[in-house]
Structure 1
Amino acid sequence: MTDEQIITDVAAVLGVDRSELDTDTDLLDAGLDSVRIMSLVEKWRSAGHADIDFPTLAGDPVLGSWIELLA
């Protein structure tokens, strides 16, 4: 999964343009909630990232951290 795909996926669930997000964005402050995190977990697991889970993402909800985990 590329950095661009991760940013695109996150922007889509937040309903914002991807240009509004950068690696320092705190996704909880940007409006991401637990339901949306779970939808991303399921999407990314189905894309082959079986090791991604809710506690990992929710524990460090900064976009740059997610990119490091997934890319």
Structure 2
Amino acid sequence: MTAKLTLEDMRADIAEMVYDEPENIELDDNLMDLGLDSMRVMTLVERWDKKGVELDFTRIAERLTLRGWWELAQDAQGLSQ
């Protein structure tokens, strides 16, 4: 199965929300420390849902790194980690 959402897609989407460059978003950065808030997170979850990747906001909120979110996205897409 081909990913509907890639790690680089997620990185770029997050960077857009915090007005930064994708290369500045590290896997283990705390995304809230970079400027994400709950409204922006909801926007991202909705964007990814439109791509067919359903992520639970509660689970996203428990894992505040790109690495954590990517792991959830892989699970949602049926990709092995």
Alignment TM-score, normalising by the size of structure 1? 0.91
Count of matched residue pairs = 70
Which whole-Å deviations, capped at 9, do the CAs of 1:4-60 have from their partners, x for residues lacking one? 11100110111111111110111011111000000001001111012x121111111
Give 4+ residue runs of structure 1 displaced > 4 Å after superposition: none
Alignment TM-score, normalising by the size of structure 2? 0.81
Q: Name 1:59's counterpart in structure 2.
A: 62
Could you tell me which runs of 5 or more consecutive residues in structure 1 were left unpaired when the two chains were aligned.
none
Aligned: 1:45 with 2:52 = no
**C-alpha distance in 2, partners of 1:4/1:63?**
10
When you count helix as a share of all residues, which structure comes out higher? 1
Could you tell me which runs of 5 or more consecutive residues in structure 2 were left unpaired when the two chains were aligned.
75-81
> For the pair shown, which has the larger CA radius of gyration, 1 or 2?
2
Q: Percent identity at matched positions?
A: 36
Aligned: 1:13 with 2:43 = no
**C-alpha distance in 1, partners of 2:41/2:56?**
9
